[in-house]
Amino acid sequence: MHGLMQDRPLLISSLIEHAATFHPHTEIVSRLPEGTVHRTDWLGVCMRSRQVANALKGLGIQQGDRVGTLAWNSYRHLALYYGVSGSGAVLHTVNPRLFPEQIDYIINHAEDRVLFFDITFAPLVEQLAPQLKSVQAFIAMTDRAHMPAINVPNLLCFDELMDAQSTDYTWPEFDEKSASSLCYTSGTTGNPKGVLYSHRSTLLHTLMELAPDTFGISSAETLMLIVPMFHANAWGAPYAAAMVGAKLVLPGPHLDGESVYNLMHDEKVTFSQGVPTVWMMLFQHLDKNPQLDPRTLGVKRIGIGGAAVSRAVLERFESQFGAEVVQGWGMTETSPIGVISKLLPKHAGVDPEELVKVKLKQGRGVWGVDLKIVDADGRALPWDGVAFGSLYVRGPWIASGYYRGEGGSVLDEDGFFPTGDVATIDPDGYLQLVDRAKDVIKSGGEWISSIDVENAAASHPDVAESAVIGVSHPKWQERPLLLVVRRPGTSVSPQALMEHLGARIAKWWLPDEVLFVDALPHTATGKLLKTKLREQYRDHQLPTA
């Protein structure tokens, strides 16, 4: 027997129409690549997204065609989020921080028919255009006055193209399982692989993002979206903001500490999401300007993902900003919410030191995401906070495979996706990453968590950033090498760092050597690029060897 409920498909177009109907005058603020601040509202974005849909129709784009973007966070990109997917085409947000060869590969692999780009990337587009065989039109996301003088075929001006379109458009209805957007993994090894989201998966993910036990976004929020719109659908925030009509603040390419602080101040931001590297730049700005008081900003919550949160970052946001840190774990393949770190009622009155340990865990599973950890033989491990193994996930917004079948069948026999992470899960369901499977250090038959050692090093006040890799050892197979970037103006010694670590980690986890470097390499999404470090130090001779 079926229920007697109306069967309406879960489509992304419903979000923008809801925002325009019930929150028409809530602001969308953008700092554009041109340097100006642009203001519109949800009604304005809805009208623009309808014009996008009409323009795509005029360009011959049909349902299922891929439409690429090389763009920062702005109202124009937001209109593409809705206009492309809402019309039935597939929005392919290209990460401009990838190597040009990777960008060339993924645009051709996706067979994008149109490429929208911010003027920041005009030289890159001119360089790549001859190799992009499927792209039939290049659209610069600017006005006529700022059109780039580049030699690419069928170059169009975004504002002119949109202004010529009608704002009347009836969003089509189709199967909610239809593809809505496409993101490629950062591809630290091999070619990037495409993750193809559906309208249904996106809407279900959006509903969970609003829950108080996740990010708790509401219409009272002013959300500054620092996480890029080209990275895992900006963690789903553009959709969540529309569902509740929250004010959005979009910083464009202006992610330096001063710009972020000023925009937070001017727009009275209450919640912001970003990766740790951006927050480090914000802290550096505050260090250079001690007269600034971040508590006056009124920021209530900071969302952090993409890399583990260190104790130093957690405590600085709590003490200096008076803000709650909401850590999360996920990946492009999980849309990306997997687990979110929120406290339980049982934690009221818990010893502060013990509470910090809970807060530093990646978080608890949310509805819709099943978790399991398994040993090398695939046997499920207990949730005791001690046993650690390979992490697998399953759910309605978790990838079932990669675009065009790249990588073959990836799910296990129970339909779980292998994340490539090693983790523990405690009796309360809090997941803590031990390492990436490829990054864990195997020493004398035991595993050392590079993440734990890095977090311990980062808690030293003179350490700006740290990385730990395993280096070959004749007796122990591998031993940890600690690479450290000092904070400007400091001179911490290896001996002082070892003493600091000795009070925080097991003795046999202590690095065999500490090296100071000027900078550490990062992936296109801001994570430490350990493949490059392992290659660089492949033949390094440890003093203990």
Q: What is the pLDDT of residues 130-144, one digit of tens each?
A: 999 999 999 999 999
Helix axes 450-458, 494-502, angle to 10 degrees: 110
- Across 265-277, average pLDDT: 94
| 113/535: higher pLDDT | 113
Q: What is the pLDDT of residue 189?
A: 55
- Across 489-516, average pLDDT: 91
**Strands 430-436 vs 363-365: parallel, antiparallel or unpaired:** antiparallel
Lowest mean pLDDT of 221-235, 261-275, 303-317, 365-379, name the range: 303-317
Active site residue 185: yes
Residue 455 DSSP SS3: helix
State the catalytic residue, choosing from 447, 527, 531, 532.
Answer: 447
State the catalytic residue, choosing from 209, 333, 465, 478.
Answer: 333
Nearest of 142, 144, 156 to residue 76 by alpha carbon: 142
Residue 275 has pLDDT above 90, yes or no: no
How much is the pTM?
0.86
State the catalytic residue, choosing from 26, 69, 120, 185.
Answer: 185
Active site residue 490: no
Nearest of 238, 263, 239 to residue 253 by alpha carbon: 263
Alpha-carbon distance of 436 to 309, in angstroms, equals: 15
Residue given tokens 């799910």 in the structure block? 411
Q: Which domains does the chain have, with CATH numbers?
A: 19-325 (3.40.50.12780), 366-436 (2.30.38.10), 441-536 (3.30.300.30)
**Residue % of the chain over a pLDDT of 70:** 99
Residue 75 DSSP SS3: helix
**Residue-wise pLDDT tens digits, 401-414:** 999 998 889 999 99
Alpha-carbon distance of 78 to 41, in angstroms, equals: 11
- Across 272-278, average pLDDT: 89
Instruction: Tell how far CA 82 is from the center of its chain.
Output: 19
> pLDDT band at 266, cuts 50/70/90?
very high
Residue 470 has pLDDT above 80, yes or no: yes
**Residue-wise pLDDT tens digits, 334-346:** 999 999 999 999 9
| 76 token code pair | 């124009």
**Residue-wise pLDDT tens digits, 101-121:** 889 999 999 999 999 999 999
Lowest mean pLDDT of 48-52, 139-143, 185-189, 253-257, name the range: 185-189
Q: Is there a cis peptide before residue 336, judged by omega within 30 degrees of 0?
A: yes
Alpha-carbon distance of 343 to 324, in angstroms, equals: 11
**Residue % of the chain over a pLDDT of 90:** 83
State the catalytic residue, choosing from 442, 499, 508, 544.
Answer: 442
- Across 76-97, average pLDDT: 97
Residue 442 has pLDDT above 70, yes or no: yes
Alpha-carbon distance of 118 to 156, in angstroms, equals: 12
Q: What is the DSSP letter of 505?
A: S
**Residue-wise pLDDT tens digits, 5-49:** 999 999 999 999 999 999 999 999 999 999 999 999 999 999 999
Q: What is the pLDDT of residue 312?
A: 85
Q: What is the pLDDT of residue 445?
A: 64
Quick count: other Cβ atoms within 10 Å of Cβ 187? 17
Mean of pLDDT over the chain: 94
Q: Say how many Å lie between the first and final Cα of the chain, rounded.
A: 71
- Across 415-426, average pLDDT: 94
Residue 334 DSSP SS3: helix
Q: What is the pLDDT of residue 102?
A: 87
Active site residue 93: no
